[in-house]
Amino acid sequence: MRRFVGRFGWRFGVVVALVLATATAWASEDAFAYQPDQVPHIHPTSPWYLPRQVTLGGFAGRTVTPQLRIGWELTLIQERADALMFVFEGGGGWALSTSEERDSEGNPGLSWFFEHSLQVGLGYREVFADDFAWGFKVVSGPAWVGARSPGLLDERQLIGLLEARFELGHYFGSTQVGLTGGLQTVYGHAAHTYASHGAGGVMFGIFANWR
């Protein structure tokens, strides 16, 4: 049990914290009267099967890897000024910066790396009368990664990712443009492999979301 908590406890702690934040937001909205500075969502007008978001960003950890992602959203709960959504995302990219030096844990250095992933999860968004919006997403899923290390054979590997991201944006008509940031982590590193060590780190980016 201690080993499990040591490896995964903080990851699930991030998820629990975000879920509690959502519950608190809804509880606060129920506890107080509707405020005039809040406005309801405009219900989505795009068909559910069309993309609803594009994100240009990446993550910085052992590598700096830019990524392009396309996302779909399906509204699960619609309230006056906020919504809970099912989220599906896909995308990836190749590292712009790597280090060929071994890390502090003795893992091989990397001279080349890529990551492509499919993620599913939940998202929350709240919109205000001034068209400012905030929200977050917790997603998880498989990723296909590859890496090259000096003196070793190239490696390809299927791994699992967990991501937690906040979003801050502003609506211009029916399109929201904003900034996103968060954390990406790997569920576990298989023994005697090195490609997965290029994944994970602090996430950053800009996004556009339309209704």
What is the reported pLDDT for 117?
98
Separation between Cα atoms, residue 110 and residue 98, nearest integer Å? 6
pTM score, two decimals? 0.80
Residues in CB range of 146: below 8 A, 6 or more apart: 112, 113, 114, 154, 155, 156, 157, 195
Average pLDDT over residues 93-113: 93
pLDDT at 105 over 70: yes
pLDDT tens per residue across span 165-206:
999 999 998 899 999 999 999 998 888 899 999 999 999 999
Domain around 137: 2-210
CATH number for position 160: 2.40.160.20
The total number of structural domains that make up the chain = 1
Separation between Cα atoms, residue 17 and residue 128, nearest integer Å? 23
What is the reported pLDDT for 42?
53
pLDDT tens per residue across span 63-90:
999 999 999 999 999 888 899 999 999 9
What is the reported pLDDT for 175?
93
What is the reported pLDDT for 13?
52
| CB-CB contact of 173 with 146 (8 Å) | no
